[in-house]
Amino acid sequence: MKRPQQWHQWALIGLGVGVAVLLLVLPLVLIFTRALSGGWELLAANLSEGFMQHALGLTLLVAVLTVPVNMIFGIALAWCVTQYQFRGRRLLTTLIDIPFATSPVVAGMCYLVVYGMEGLLGQWLSSRDIQIIFAWPGIVLVTIFITSPYVARILIPLMQTHGNDEEHVALTLGANGWQIFWRVTLPKIKWALLNGVVTTNARAVGEFGSVAVVSGTIMNQTLTLPLLVEQLNNDYKVAAAFTAAALLACMALLSLLLKSFMEWRQERLEALALGG
Amino acid sequence: MAAIASRPLLLIRPAVLPGFGLSLGVSSFFITLIILFPVSALFAYSAELSLAQYWQAVTDPRVLASYRVTVSAALYATLASVLIGLLLAWVTVRYDFPGRRLLDTLIDLPFALPTAVAGLTLSVLLAPSGWVGQWFDAVGIKIAYAYPGIVIAMTFTSLPFVVRTLQPVLQDFAKEVEEAARTLGASRTQIFWRVILPTLIPALVTGGAQSFIRSLGEFGAVVMIAGNIPFRTEVSSLMIFVRLQEFEYPAAAAIATVILLTSLLLMFALYVLQGRVLRWQRSAG
């Protein structure tokens, strides 16, 4: 990398920064300007509305339930495909990409035909008074589906480059499987794992299309924050919509900050490992 | 050791580390329950339709119009995100300038920002009275609540793919090759077109394909800016929604299978292509 010297290099940088400002910075500025257009008091009033609090609570509940499930699954899958040579290994890594390729609305539709009233299990579930579709369990399920690849996708390439020599050494020294994972593997991948957790969380908080299908959009019951943004906008309550949007934008910016910090820490970890 | 005995068929090389059965069990159970079961249920559900009913559901004129809108807008958006992505990756990898790290972090914003927020913000920004929309309104161009709005929403949500696949390739690009070309008398434009760009093509194809797949399925950002006028600015994902609201569940499922099959086929085509390209690069290198 070098300091730009000639005018055309500065022109390229200017063009790049210009595009980024127009596409990325301007929308952010707009969100916060609109959220604050009525002053701080109106913002506080909007934030303390019952429906806003409920949507925030539901969104956090979905994230809290989704993230640990996908973290455990991601670690198990990454461990499985990087530590062993077995038939079906490539198949597993291909199948895990299906949620990336699936449109969110289609994902919601898949869950609707399984758990909905007309679906395969719907009658059986409703005879036992278990409601999944148009209730929070459905929202959690589709969110798990949509965010399932992230942890595994971040861990697999990293664990592949690490190889498993150190794990083998630990084994010959008498460590058992759990000890190897906690004391040898985890310290090498911890920042990447946290990065995966933050990414999963950000997607879980912001998921819209699939949740819109299974939620039924019932105010104070099944409205997550992203759904609330759309609902308020449809009702021409633009100021309140931007309040919810600003709340989500703050979480997104926090995720970005954490993410770049963790990427930096993991890079430093790799550099140390190479140097040592 | 128990894993070797109980799974002799699966393992190609004996497992040295313990935990094969557990990790494979957890992963396969999860993939089956969370991914494979619901996806196959969708096909099973739409198979209840007769062939004629299925055909009618997926070739309804309004649905056909939505395929045209979705595919063409996704193509334009992919072209835009390839060009912008190339520019941003180039600038952030090759030059050191104040604000470079901030720019590099901000590139991920479209992945972190909920799509509904992106759609709301872009629609207000590009509306005829908006900060950016008023300039276009003055010359009679409508962006929000029209077709160009769909393209911009798709470009925004798929922008990071190309940048993130290009950056590592640009970083690894050997300076010596470029310098060798220069000493052999190549001009700057010749170096870019003949030396640098060919090495970027695999990454450009991968990033572009990911952008395209993402744009085809994008919903949150698009519905809030498209205006959703039947036959003109309705995307295919929205048609599923429309059918659901009409309580036409089987028709909705039928449209969903078309979208799902298309994106799965694209994904597998990309894998095959990547396998070829990687082999080609290895043999060239």
pLDDT in tens, B225-251: 998 999 999 999 999 999 998 999 999
Residue B253 structure tokens: 């499922």
Please tell me the predicted confidence (pLDDT) of residue A274. 73
Question: Residue B100 above 60 pLDDT?
Answer: yes
| Subunit contact B125:A167, Cβ cutoff 8 A | no
| CA distance readout (Å), B137 to A244, B48, B167 | 28, 49, 36
Closest residue in B to A258 (Cα–Cα): B105
Q: Select the residue from B29, B113, B129, B258 to test the A interface by mutation, using most A Cβ atoms within 10 A.
A: B113
**Does the structure show a pLDDT above 80 at B277?**
no
pLDDT attached to residue A96: 94
pLDDT over 80 at B285, yes or no: no
pLDDT given at position A275: 66
Q: CATH classification of A50-275 is 3.40.640.10, yes or no?
A: no
Is A272's pLDDT higher than 90? Answer: no
pLDDT at B279: 65
Q: Which residues of A touch B219 (CB under 8 A)?
A: 103-105, 208-209, 212
Note whether A169 contacts B: Cβ–Cβ < 8 A: no
Mutation target among A6, A26, A105, A237 for the B interface, most CBs of B within 10 A: A105
Confidence check: pLDDT of B8 > 60: no
Q: Are B123 and B221 in contact (CB under 8 A)?
A: no
User: How much is the pLDDT for A122?
Assistant: 84
Q: How far is B119 from chain A (nearest CA, A)?
A: 9
Q: What's the rounded mean pLDDT across residues A236-241?
A: 91
Q: Output the pLDDT for position B284.
A: 53
Confidence grade of residue B81 (pLDDT, cut at 50, 70, 90): very high
Asked if B65 and B228 count as a contact pair (C-beta separation under 8 A), the reply is: no
Question: Average pLDDT in the B107-128 region?
Answer: 95
Q: What mean pLDDT, rounded, does chain A reach? A: 92
Give the burial class of B8: count Cβ atoms within 10 A of its Cβ; 0-12 exposed, 13-18 middle, 19 or more buried: exposed
CATH top class, domain B51-284: mainly alpha
pLDDT for residue B104 is more than 80? yes
Best A82, A84, A260 member to test B by mutation, with max B CBs in 10 Å, is: A84
CB contact under 8 A, A100 and B44: no
Residue A192, pLDDT > 90, answer: yes
- Kindly list the domain boundaries of chain A, sorted by start residue: 1-35, 50-275
Q: pTM of the predicted model, to two decimals?
A: 0.93
d(CA B180, CA A255): 42
Distance, CA of B237 to chain centre = 15
Q: Which of residues 9-38 of A touch B (CB under 8 A)?
A: 9, 12-13, 15-17, 19-20, 22-28, 30-31, 34
Cβ-nearest to B115 among A99, A208, A256: A208
Residue A101 in contact with partner chain B when CB distance is under 8 A: yes
C-beta separation of B64 from A137 below 8 A: no
Residue range A136-146, pLDDT digits in tens: 999 999 999 99
* Res. A61 pLDDT band, cuts 50 70 90: very high
pLDDT tens, A94-105?
Answer: 999 999 999 999
Give the model's pLDDT for residue B239: 95
Indicate the residue of B16, B34, B249 with minimum beta-carbon distance to A171.
B16
Q: Is residue B268's pLDDT more than 70?
A: yes
